Amino acid sequence: MDVFKIAYAVGRVHCDSPVKILFPSIQAMFILVQTYFLWLHAKDCVQAQRNITRSGLMLTLATNLMIWISAVTEESLHNTKNATSTHSLDFQSLSPLARASDGDSNCVCIMAACKIFNDAIPYLYPINIEYSLFASAMAYVMWKNVGRLVDDHGHHELRFRMRDVLIGPATGIIVLVAGLTIFVVYKVDVSTEQKKDTALIMYYVANTTIVVLMSVASAVGCALFQLEQREHAVGKNPTRSLDMGLLIGASVGQLTVSYFTVVAVLGTGVDKPVNALNLACSVLLVVELGVQNVFIIEGLRREPHQDTRRASIFSNLLALQALEERRMSGNVLTPRGSIALPVHKPLPWKRKALKEISSFLLLCNITLWIISAFGAQPELDNPLGGEFYELRMWEAVVSIGLPFGIFYRMHSVASLLEVYLTS
What residue spans define the domains of the chain?
A: 1-150, 163-302+345-423, 310-344
The whole-number average pLDDT for the span 89-117 is 60
pLDDT surpasses 70 at 196: yes
Residue positions counted in the chain: 423
Burial zone of 48 (CB within 10 Å; 0-12 exposed, 13-18 middle, 19+ buried): exposed
Q: Which run of H or of E encompasses 311?
A: strand 310-313
The segment with the largest mean pLDDT, out of 42-46, 168-172, 351-355, is 168-172
Residue 33: predicted pLDDT: 93
The whole-number average pLDDT for the span 84-113 is 57
Residue 175: predicted pLDDT: 93
Give CA separation, 332 vs 67, 313, 316, 322, in Å.
Answer: 76, 20, 16, 10
Q: What residues form DSSP beta bridges with 313?
A: 341
The angle that helices 238-268 and 391-422 make with each other, rounded to 10 degrees, is 140
Residue 381: predicted pLDDT: 83
Q: Are 57 and 138 in contact (CB under 8 A)?
A: no
Q: Are 225 and 355 in contact (CB under 8 A)?
A: no
- Pairwise pLDDT comparison (105 vs 205), residue with the higher score: 205
Residue 205 CB neighbour total at 10 angstroms:
15
Residue 267: predicted pLDDT: 87
Average per-residue pLDDT in the chain? 78
- For 117, phi then psi, to 5°, come to -60, -45
**Distance between CA atoms of 405 and 369, rounded to whole angstroms?**
8
Q: Are 419 and 358 in contact (CB under 8 A)?
A: yes
Confidence of residue 82 (pLDDT cuts 50, 70, 90): low
The reported pTM is 0.74
- Pairwise pLDDT comparison (117 vs 297), residue with the higher score: 297
The whole-number average pLDDT for the span 289-298 is 92
**Distance between CA atoms of 78 and 122, rounded to whole angstroms?**
8
Residue 274 CB neighbour total at 10 angstroms:
20
Confidence of residue 150 (pLDDT cuts 50, 70, 90): low
Angle at CA of residue 207, ends 203 and 213, nearest 5°: 150
> How crowded is the C-beta side of 413, counted as CA atoms within 13 Å?
14
Confidence of residue 321 (pLDDT cuts 50, 70, 90): low
State the sign of the Cα–Cα–Cα–Cα dihedral 190, 192, 197, 198.
negative
Q: Are 24 and 5 in contact (CB under 8 A)?
A: yes
Residue 90: predicted pLDDT: 45
Confidence of residue 323 (pLDDT cuts 50, 70, 90): low
Residue 212: predicted pLDDT: 95
Q: Are 91 and 105 in contact (CB under 8 A)?
A: yes
3-state class (DSSP) for residue 328:
helix
Residue 92: predicted pLDDT: 47
Residue 390: predicted pLDDT: 82
pLDDT tens digits along 337-366: 444 445 556 667 778 888 899 999 999 999
Q: What residues form DSSP beta bridges with 302?
A: 232
- For 120, phi then psi, to 5°, come to -80, -25
